[in-house]
Amino acid sequence: MADTMANKDHLTNLAIVVPGILGLIGAAIQWKRVSAVQMNGHPGKLKEKLLKDDGDADKEDALEMMVKIGQIIADGAMDFLVAEYKVLSVFTVIFAVIVTFAADKWAALSFVIGAATSTVSGFLGMQIATQSNSKTAHECWDNCEKGYRVAIWGGSVMGLSLVSLGLLVLFALIVILKPILDVDDETLFEAVAGYGLGGSSIALFGRVGGGIYTKAADVGADLSGKIDEGMDEDDIRNPACIADNVGDNVGDIAGMGADLFGSFAESTCAALVIGSAAGSDLIGNWSATMFPLLISSSGIVCGILTLMICSCQSVNHTDKVEFALKMILVVSTVIETPFVYLAATWTLPDHFVVEAGGPSRTPLQACYPVWFGLWSGLLIGFVTEYYTSFSYKPVRDIAQQQKTSAATGIIFGLAVGYMSCVVPVFCIAGTVLVAHKILGMYGVALGALGMLSTITMGLTIDAYGPISDNAGGIAEMSGLSSKVRAITDALDAAGNTTAAIGKGFAIGSAALVSLALFGAYCVRANVTKVDALDPWTFTGLLIGAMIPYAFAALTMRSVAYAATDMVEECRRQFEGILRGNPPVAPDYTRCIVISTQASLREMIAPGLLVILSPIAAGFCIGKNGCAGLLIGGMISAVQMAISMSNTGGAWDNAKKYAEKCKAKGTAQYQNAVIGDTVGDPMKDTSGPALNIVMKLSAIISLVFGSSIASWSAADGGPLWLERVLAQ
């Protein structure tokens, strides 16, 4: 019997490690495919008519410009990433010291490893994205199919490498710490929870810093170029256009990758902590304990199979792009469904209990929370697509309203964003209800893992968006014709929708993750009951519900400040660029510097608000007040994050729809640009960062749970107040 269990444990280890290695190999193969694309101008194939319709440049000039612009974007993105990571390295060291004293040194070690893994993931994503940008534009110069393939290859490198790297590092951390600590599983996984804290901390600053960078440049370029001067998007004369393209990478590649890495790490850690709590039958059963990791490892295999199947699909026309991207999500969800059942029936006992005194459950019943999360995620994706794609009525109605005025378009766009919350919230609530009814908070954590089980493909289509967006900018700035730009615009429009779908996945999973982490916090801080009638809990609820609003205000204000600096710089340069005699060349570097400095300066305050809030709440209003803070913040942030992300995405695609309808130069297009500009910080800065606010607050409370309990009186209020009243 013991030999059988040992063999099963070894096979479980292989089932985690082998898919992780296969994922890295798959990412390397896709990277090699991108690298193999030759930037040679397609000799013997292209006609001069593929160059700009009214230009006199030849093919060699366009090719040289394409390579040059691609390199400037890559250099700018790397320069920002290095500057940001220098700041974050200082934060990591300081906060690791705090975690050491407030929790323990092993949690601090896990925190540092999680932060380092998130950093490496963002760096790898940035490298492949900046390499794929210009090559996607180059292949669109030939046909739609080739351009689409390169963008998907680049996106899949991000998806496969990030999940594989995160899984392998987490598993290695568990395996290494287990014999060193020589403690029970509950204590082990509480130390490992620092891994999720590290990933989410880097994600917050990456999302906020990258979001401020990209939207400062984007808003600045639109206001000064499109609105003031009537320029096309990505006009090479606009000095902010390069910074805009750099920002797409730092915000939507590095920041987004760190965000979803944090969700994966935190949901896994939450499941491990809850599954190893006192009274669980999973304690001492290695294979059963590793079930959450097997969900993620099966998702890697699912992603590889999905890429193989979907690579057979023809995308030889722009009308097929959106459907092809949607099929990636559908196929991966269908394939993952039986994988979950196989993993559960192989690892979990025939009957088991997770919570002391809870009902006995079977492996099939453990699959239900995962399946609810998996299919709810797909449904959230479809709903997001409906509200943000110009193929459907909501976005077209916004465009229709913009024929009247920018104000009516903005009002209608806000209504679309608010309405888009309804179905996702029901999906999240239904998943929570079913999951908790079956397996308590452990089931909620499994639901989050289910929603994230297809994260390899979610990241693929999410990273596809900024890659295709930059490809369009490079094509415009290189002097390619309207026919080529029509292809890149189609890829970009589909990418806007897939990016919104990716944000929907991230927000939905963040709600489930934060709830699961909240359950783990209650266990560690010994919060036995969360009662809204308790004055400390209610106080925490009110404060927690306010924090997302304060956070959104800080980040949007930061974008406004930085964009103002960008507009003033562009207007100054336009005097020489457009009206100089002779005209002067745009100074792209100056605009890149403005975005970099603004983002690094402005990301500090929102980050500290989120990181310090749960610690301050634990000390000032006790463990019950901190519990209220987490619940209030989560409920508030879910609605705000969905509505802001979808409103911004809808306004963006309303502008794309106006372009498709040849409305450039009309009042409708001008109004659409204004709507898109208003929505930029909502969909790419504040909205997506709010899901990190939920997760980070919860996992900080979990890691500091023992300290918060020690700061609290017997009634759950603050200990300092009890001592003051006793004197």
- pLDDT in the model for residue 186: 76
- pLDDT in the model for residue 48: 47
Gyration radius of the chain over CA positions:
25
User: Helix, strand, coil % (nearest 5) of the chain?
Assistant: 85, 0, 15
DSSP annotation of 352 reads B
Dihedral over alpha carbons 570, 572, 576, 579 (to 10 degrees): 90
The span from the CA of 95 to the CA of 390, in Å, is: 44
- Give the angle subtended at the CA of 152 by the CAs of 151 and 155, to the nearest 5°: 90
Between 541 and 237, name the one with better pLDDT: 541
- pLDDT in the model for residue 622: 93
Render pLDDT for 94-111 as a digit per residue (tens, 0 to 9).
999 988 887 788 889 999
- Over residues 660-666, the mean pLDDT reads 82
The span from the CA of 719 to the CA of 668, in Å, is: 60
Render pLDDT for 27-55 as a digit per residue (tens, 0 to 9).
999 999 999 988 877 776 655 444 555 44
Render pLDDT for 123-169 as a digit per residue (tens, 0 to 9).
888 888 888 888 888 888 878 888 899 999 999 998 899 899 989 99
Per-residue pLDDT band for 267 (boundaries 50, 70, 90) equals confident
Bridge partner list, 361:
352
Task: Name 689's Cβ contacts closer than 8 Å, sequence gap at least 6.
Answer: 204, 207, 208, 211, 259, 551, 555, 606
- pLDDT in the model for residue 333: 93
- pLDDT in the model for residue 47: 53
- Over residues 228-248, the mean pLDDT reads 81
- Over residues 363-382, the mean pLDDT reads 91
Render pLDDT for 42-89 as a digit per residue (tens, 0 to 9).
776 655 444 555 444 566 777 888 888 888 888 888 888 888 888 889
List, as one string, the DSSP characters of 96-138: HHHHHHHS-HHHHHHHHHHHHHHHHHHHHHHHHHHHHHHHHHH
The span from the CA of 223 to the CA of 505, in Å, is: 31
Render pLDDT for 639-655 as a digit per residue (tens, 0 to 9).
999 999 899 989 988 98
Between 320 and 301, name the one with better pLDDT: 301
- pLDDT in the model for residue 49: 44
**256, pLDDT greater than 90:** no
Between 432 and 230, name the one with better pLDDT: 432
Count of residues in the chain: 727
Most confident of the following: 77-81, 223-227, 363-367, 690-694: 363-367
Per-residue pLDDT band for 331 (boundaries 50, 70, 90) equals very high
Q: Identify the weakest region by mean pLDDT among 51-60, 235-244, 281-290.
A: 51-60
The span from the CA of 600 to the CA of 81, in Å, is: 10
Which of 407, 450, 486 shows the shortest CA–CA distance to 660?
486
The span from the CA of 689 to the CA of 674, in Å, is: 23
Domain ranges of the chain: 62-726
Per-residue pLDDT band for 425 (boundaries 50, 70, 90) equals very high
**434, pLDDT greater than 60:** yes
The span from the CA of 606 to the CA of 548, in Å, is: 10
**690, pLDDT greater than 60:** yes
Render pLDDT for 624-635 as a digit per residue (tens, 0 to 9).
999 999 999 999
**3, pLDDT greater than 70:** no
- pLDDT in the model for residue 52: 54
Record the tokens describing residue 357, joined without a space: 């005194």
Between 270 and 109, name the one with better pLDDT: 109
**303, pLDDT greater than 70:** yes
The span from the CA of 288 to the CA of 310, in Å, is: 33
Q: Quickly tell me which residue has 């600045």 as its tokens.
A: 220
